[in-house]
Amino acid sequence: MAVNFLTLRSAVANDMAVQHLTYSTMVGHPTASHQTVQAIVASSIMTMGHVGIGATTALSGTALNVVGSTIISGNVIINNGVGGTLTKTGSTTGYYGTFTGGTASNSPYLEFFASGTRRGYFGNVSLTRYEMFAENGASIIFGTAGSTRMTIGADGTSTHTSGDSSYIKYGPNSTWSSYLVIGATPDRAGASTAQVITTNGNLHLDAGNSSDIYYGLYATQRATPNAHRFSGQVFISGDTTVNSGLTGSEVYTNGWFRVNGGGGVHWQTYGRGIYSADSAGASYGNVSVYGTGINTWNGYDINGRYTFMANGDTVGVHDRNNSWVWRNVNTVMYINKTLVLESVAQNSDYYSQVAVLNGSTLQKSQCMMREIYFSNNVAWSGGINITYAFYHYNTISPVQIYGKCSGYYSGSGMMQTTIRLYSQSTGNYYSYPLNSFVNVGGNHFTVPLNVISNGLPTGWFDVYVYSTSGWITDGNDQLTVCVQILPVRDF
């Protein structure tokens, strides 16, 4: 073994000075031209300045400049654990720091250890995959300006923490040049920007300005429509238009349930309902029934027992336990119950209709009573005419004219008072003379008047009272005339 000292000189003057190089050699058998060095063991290299291997010029700011491939077996320590920088240099863009190797299909990857355990790695790139993994309890953290912005926890939970800017904005898309904002942030929607955000815990779903929100549009266009399920209360501000059927358990409204046009309420299972009287073509009323009722009777039921209903020309109230309460067929009304009038107001009209029974039929009766003339100071014998004295509603009811008159006779004999009826509708006269006898002349006396007429025509009548013989009257005499239309035709 021989110990030699070797001085290496750099290609650049004064760029490298080797103080000592200590090595040992094991020399084999020499050949004709050289000696084979089987091993060189270097103890240390102390440098001053720069060392270049394969370089023709010094690289400023570096201690070692190696040109060409370098194979390192073992660990590379940068600044011995205190800290350091791994820099890719180059004066123009397009320079890459390249980490190659691995297998034919995957690149190598860099591993990162803490406390002797691998906590993450990245690399292992294939044709379709680039990996960046945290493991063994570590999280992946992304940040800006020294603050954490996004964290992927060891359990896979992702959080984006950036205050009121905690959102992700996607877009623009190439077809519509529009954006989508998702996150926890104040309102970010605008022209061509939709959002799904939370503010104070509320969830906001907004389309871009003046744009629509579609639920299940594309699935419906594919003929595979979605069911939209809402649990809990749904509050809608503004008008809502439903272009198809709306099905629910119950519907409540704090205002009116309004139907546009001629619609109404329809019981789908039974094929009937109610709608406006206008839609039914009615001349009166508010509500009309729609469709055919049970057993072809249309109407309104009350508690499953009483039904106000109609079928053709028959209308009435039916009691399912006791048949009809009343019904009207064409112009005839049938009453199946006892009719009790608990409180009937006094009629204030001059002419009244009295209801009477004709067999089992309740009909109107021509029945009225009225005083048509009264005076205690009248010379009536020349004639008193009372126009529109009474109205006769039918030709059957008798008419009674009654009252009293006073006067005197010059001697004894017969005096005659005539009551004449005039029909305004036919122009006919009906005269009824009444005779009175007196034995003492010159004295005033009073006699009754009473006439009953049958078969008079209908319409208005005048009554004329006058003396046809004997009566002498002056301002001291009286005349009272009453009319009564009787409710019976005979006995």
Question: Same domain for 451 and 423?
Answer: yes
Place of tokens 């969830």: 203
Question: Same domain for 33 and 22?
Answer: yes
* Token pair in block for residue 122: 């990245």
Question: Same domain for 389 and 318?
Answer: no
Question: Same domain for 371 and 459?
Answer: yes
Question: Same domain for 272 and 305?
Answer: no
Q: Is 49 left (phi over 0), alpha (psi -120 to 50) or beta?
A: left
- The domain that holds 425 is classified in CATH as 2.60.120.1310
Q: Please give the pLDDT value at position 55.
A: 67
Whether residue 102 lies inside any domain: the answer is no
Q: Please give the pLDDT value at position 458.
A: 93
End position of a domain, from candidates 206, 221, 251: 206
Domain range for 270 is 262-289
Number of structural domains the chain divides into: 5
Q: Please give the pLDDT value at position 141.
A: 92
Question: Same domain for 182 and 271?
Answer: no
Question: Same domain for 460 and 383?
Answer: yes
Question: Same domain for 279 and 299?
Answer: no
Query: Which amino acid is located at 277 in the chain?
Result: A
End position of a domain, from candidates 10, 41, 65: 65
Q: What is the pLDDT along the chain (491 residues), one digit of tens a residue?
A: 443 333 334 444 444 433 333 333 444 444 444 333 333 333 334 445 567 777 666 566 667 777 777 777 777 776 665 666 767 666 666 667 777 778 889 988 888 999 999 999 998 899 999 899 999 999 999 999 889 999 999 999 999 999 999 999 999 999 999 999 999 999 999 999 999 999 999 999 999 999 999 989 999 999 999 988 888 888 888 888 888 888 878 888 888 888 888 889 989 899 999 999 998 898 999 999 998 889 999 999 999 999 999 999 999 999 999 999 999 999 888 888 887 877 777 666 655 566 777 777 767 666 678 899 999 999 999 999 999 999 998 888 889 999 999 999 888 888 999 999 999 999 999 999 999 998 877 888 899 999 999 889 999 999 999 999 999 999 999 999 999 987 765 55
Whether residue 182 lies inside any domain: the answer is yes
What are the angstrom distances between the C-alpha of 177 and each of 173, 187, 191?
Answer: 5, 20, 10
* Token pair in block for residue 432: 């009824």
Whether residue 323 lies inside any domain: the answer is yes
**What is the separation of C-alpha 345 from the centre of its chain, rounded to a whole number of angstroms?**
49
Q: Please give the pLDDT value at position 19.
A: 37
Whether residue 236 lies inside any domain: the answer is no
Question: Same domain for 276 and 323?
Answer: no
Place of tokens 């992304």: 142
Question: Same domain for 280 and 311?
Answer: no
Question: Same domain for 272 and 296?
Answer: no
Query: Which amino acid is located at 359 in the chain?
Result: G
Whether residue 347 lies inside any domain: the answer is no
Question: Same domain for 420 and 393?
Answer: yes
Whether residue 490 lies inside any domain: the answer is no
Q: Please give the pLDDT value at position 58.
A: 59
The count of other CB atoms within 10 Å of the CB of residue 307 is 20
Whether residue 46 lies inside any domain: the answer is yes
Q: Please give the pLDDT value at position 34.
A: 39
End position of a domain, from candidates 289, 324, 351: 289
Whether residue 350 lies inside any domain: the answer is no
β pairing state of 314-319 and 147-152: unpaired
